[in-house]
Amino acid sequence: MPIHLLPMTRREFLARAAGAGAALLLPAWARGAERKADPNRFALLSDTHVPTDPKLVSRGVNMVDSARQVVAEIAELDVRPAGTIVCGDLAYSAGLETDYRQLAPILKRLTDAKLPLHLILGNHDHRENFYSVLAEQKPAKALVAGRHVSVVESPRANWFLLDSLEKTKLTPGLLGPEQLAWLAKALDEHKDKPAIVMAHHDPQVAATTAAAKVAAKISGLRDSKALFDILVARRHVKAYVYGHRHRWWHGRHEGLHLIDLPTTAYVFGKGQPSGWAIADLKDGGIALELRCLDRKHEAHGQKLDLAWRA
């Protein structure tokens, strides 16, 4: 049966703990569950790659242990975020139902701490298996047919969460014309605030305009050019955030910020950090702080203070 990530109130937890004679042993996340969250703070992570087997190690990393560590760090933040966004590749390789059953109780710690959770799908996910386990993530009515899409509003920016999963285990991703048409319309309907667009796959704007033989080598978003035609033309769109490459990186495309989120699992490039980021929205920009799983990594605590394009 589906595992529902329903928030548990502190009162409910106390009642259960008291019944077990453990009310004085509340963990930090439960003691702080009723603290007011900062509406402009978000926890961003990507590529958890949680497998069915909790003991599975890939490239020297136990993905389940890493996911648990990150979730614990988010739940225990002194300044609580308004939500957590996971930018795809939730599951290990083929999006097995049992992968999501391993992931669900890990994420439940966030919802038990009353922290809203927003999940994006990547190329190692499987839409139907995802919904079969994380049923509460499935909207009553899809914004785009056959796609897991949502809009998260906050006081200083709106987040547009897209679905670039074309086919499970196929490396490149695709948004498709229907989703792009919805995005253009949704962005036009939300011009009152800066917009941040997120999808799992990295942009490959130059590659999509090249010859077919080059396009065949694309490992990121296959319709990047069509996406950026929409984003660049709308000045209230300020950033595109993604994962997929398992690296921490920042760049720009025609003034638009490109933010590459690190993986919580194994890295591809030597020296790259694994971890997650704290995102604090400000008037006129966003501040990012990298939180490495390895506190001794030279990039741990690195901060990016990014101003929005005019």
- The answer, yes or no, to whether residue 26 has pLDDT greater than 50, is no
pLDDT of 206 reads 60
What pTM was estimated for this model as a whole? 0.88
Instruction: List, in order, residues 6 or more apart from 209 with CB less than 8 Å away.
Output: 225
Question: If you search the block for the tokens 């899809």, which residue do you land on?
Answer: 142
Segment 103-116, tens digit of pLDDT: 999 999 999 999 99
Q: 219 to each of 215, 224, 246, 258, 277, how far by Cα in Å?
A: 9, 11, 13, 17, 24
pLDDT of 17 reads 38
pLDDT of 36 reads 82
pLDDT of 34 reads 59
Position with higher pLDDT, 243 vs 32: 243
How many whole angstroms separate alpha carbon 258 and alpha carbon 247? 12
Q: Which residues of 266-289 are buried (b: 16+ CB within 10 A; e: fewer)?
A: bbeeeebbbbbbbbbbeeebbebe
pLDDT of 208 reads 47
Q: Which residues of 119-147 are buried (b: 16+ CB within 10 A; e: fewer)?
A: bbbbbbbbbebbbbbbeebeeeeebbeeb
Segment 149-199, tens digit of pLDDT: 999 999 999 999 999 999 999 999 999 999 999 999 999 999 999 999 999
* Burial (CB count within 10 angstroms: exposed 0-12, middle 13-18, buried 19+), residue 261: buried
Assign 11 a pLDDT band (cuts: 50, 70, 90): very low
Segment 269-289, tens digit of pLDDT: 999 999 999 999 999 999 999
CATH number among 3.30.365.10, 1.20.1560.10, 3.60.21.10, 3.40.190.10, domain 27-307: 3.60.21.10
How many whole angstroms separate alpha carbon 106 and alpha carbon 104? 5
* Burial (CB count within 10 angstroms: exposed 0-12, middle 13-18, buried 19+), residue 149: buried
